[in-house]
């Protein structure tokens, strides 16, 4: 089979196409022929050595994919040959709260990911995907989709009429916009681009703020909510956005601590404004298989479709990863096999 492998160093120059034997499914595993993967900001972090700086062993990157079951290992009975499945991001986190041990089972680092024609995975780490989705759309669900679902529906319990702020128009944020609308919320989107804000409104956003031309976007949220603030903010910016997220929050509101696009630490975090808002900061780490399954039911019920910016053929995977690294997209970048 063909696979892309990161080896001999970090950076896109060290990702190469290689030939590898098709894996055999072990006991309890299913062999998947991949149909599509989608890319996450994390995949570039992995390739650049941010997550495993000491790693020397070769790695197949990319965590999120969907494929068809083509063979079953001994004792595997949950799926049949021909079923279309997605791999869950944290392979061993099936339900309840996670354990530290679960974090060693994430795809695309430290485990091999899915930028390969085949993968053998434990059946407990797979879910069926909603039938109405294309392969690329279904491949968008495991990390970005489940993270947003976890933030909005599982921990956030966002309710009808609440105000939710999502930052930017990347994968997690557009899913968060869509899920918040399903819950009946009013959604404010921030973006560096007016054109992307217009597209977010077409997806259902109620209000847009350009955080480049209005760096005090927190004040704009307060103005929009008559000084009350937002009930829920999905913070993907991290270090550079957290203080403004607190500032834009309603008293008793919640921040989902999701990303680090503008910094992995929050030096200068202002504690007093957080206390004055009785802010709840809830860190999110993707989600369990049960969360994935609940999300899939909601997506199926509402016919929701993930936003795919562009799909590349497998042979152009490096171009797709370069597109991700450049950062100019709306929603998800996909690779189709």
Ligand X SMILES: NC(=O)c1ccc[n+]([C@@H]2O[C@H](COP(=O)([O-])OP(=O)(O)OC[C@H]3O[C@@H](n4cnc5c(N)ncnc54)[C@H](OP(=O)(O)O)[C@@H]3O)[C@@H](O)[C@H]2O)c1
DSSP one-letter string for 17-40: EEE-PPPPP-TTEEEEEEEEEE--
Does position 136 interact with ligand X (CB under 6 A)? The reply is no
Give the whole-angstrom CA distance, residue 244 versus residue 238.
10
Does position 285 interact with ligand X (CB under 6 A)? The reply is yes
Residue 312: partners with Cβ closer than 8 Å, 6 or more residues away = 319, 320, 323, 333, 334, 335, 336
Sign, CA dihedral 266-42-285-291, equals positive
Touching ligand X, residues 181-210 (CB under 6 A)? 190-193, 196
| Cβ 52 to ligand X shortest distance, Å | 15
Q: Which is nearer to ligand X, 30 or 174 (CB)?
A: 174
Tokens of 19: 């030939």
Touching ligand X, residues 299-328 (CB under 6 A)? 327
Does position 236 interact with ligand X (CB under 6 A)? The reply is yes
Does position 284 interact with ligand X (CB under 6 A)? The reply is yes
89 close to 63: Cβ distance less than 8 angstroms: yes
* Helix, strand, coil percent values for the chain (each to nearest 5): 35, 25, 40
Does position 221 interact with ligand X (CB under 6 A)? The reply is no
Does position 90 interact with ligand X (CB under 6 A)? The reply is no
Residue 69: which of 112, 106, 35 has the closest Cα?
A: 35
* Contact with ligand X (CB under 6 A) among 15, 36, 41, 295: 41
Q: Stretches 8-16, 100-108, 278-286, 303-311: which one binds ligand X (CB under 6 A)?
A: 278-286
Does position 244 interact with ligand X (CB under 6 A)? The reply is no
Residue 86: its H or E element: strand 84-87
Q: Which is nearer to ligand X, 196 or 232 (CB)?
A: 196
Does position 237 interact with ligand X (CB under 6 A)? The reply is yes
Does position 254 interact with ligand X (CB under 6 A)? The reply is no
* Contact with ligand X (CB under 6 A) among 167, 183, 296, 317: 167
Give the whole-angstrom CA distance, residue 297 versus residue 281.
27
Q: How far is CA 331 from CA 145, 170, 199, 243, in A?
A: 11, 5, 11, 25
Site string for ligand X, 138-157 (x = CB under 6 A): -----xx--x----------
Q: Which is nearer to ligand X, 123 or 244 (CB)?
A: 244
Chain residues in the site for ligand X (CB under 6 A): 40-42, 143-144, 147, 167-173, 190-193, 196, 211, 236-237, 240-241, 258-262, 284-286, 327
């Amino acid at each position: 089979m063909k696979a892309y492998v990161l080896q001999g160093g970090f950076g896109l120059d060290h990702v190469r196409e290689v030939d590898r034997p098709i894996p055999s499914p072990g006991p309890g595993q299913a062999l998947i022929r991949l149909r599509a993967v989608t890319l996450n900001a994390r995949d570039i972090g992995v390739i650049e050595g941010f997550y495993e700086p000491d790693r020397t062993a070769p790695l197949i990157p990319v965590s999120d994919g969907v494929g068809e079951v083509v063979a079953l290992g001994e004792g595997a009975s949950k799926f049949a040959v021909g079923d279309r499945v997605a791999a869950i991001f944290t392979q061993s986190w099936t339900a309840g709260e996670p354990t530290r041990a679960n974090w060693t089972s994430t795809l695309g680092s430290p485990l091999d990911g899915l930028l390969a024609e085949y993968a053998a995975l434990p059946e407990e780490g797979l879910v069926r995907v909603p039938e109405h989705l294309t392969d690329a759309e279904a491949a968008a669900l495991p990390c970005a989709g489940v993270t947003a679902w976890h933030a909005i529906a599982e921990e956030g319990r966002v309710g009808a009429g609440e105000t939710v702020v999502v930052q930017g128009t990347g994968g997690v944020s557009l899913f968060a916009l869509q899920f918040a609308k399903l819950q009946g919320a009013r959604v404010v989107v921030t973006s560096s681009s007016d054109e992307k804000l217009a597209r977010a409104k077409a997806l259902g956003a109620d209000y847009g703020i350009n955080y480049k031309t209005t760096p005090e976007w927190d004040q704009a949220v307060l103005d929009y909510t008559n000084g009350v603030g937002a009930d829920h903010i999905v913070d993907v910016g991290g270090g550079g956005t957290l203080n403004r997220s607190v500032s834009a929050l309603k008293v008793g509101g919640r921040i989902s601590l999701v990303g680090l696009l503008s910094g992995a630490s929050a030096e200068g975090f202002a504690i007093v404004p957080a206390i004055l808002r009785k802010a709840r900061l809830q860190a999110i780490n993707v989600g369990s298989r049960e969360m994935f399954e609940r999300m899939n039911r909601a997506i199926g019920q509402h016919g929701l479709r993930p936003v795919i910016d562009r799909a590349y053929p497998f042979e152009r995977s490096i171009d797709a990863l370069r597109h991700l690294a450049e950062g100019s997209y709306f929603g998800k970048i996909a690779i189709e096999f």
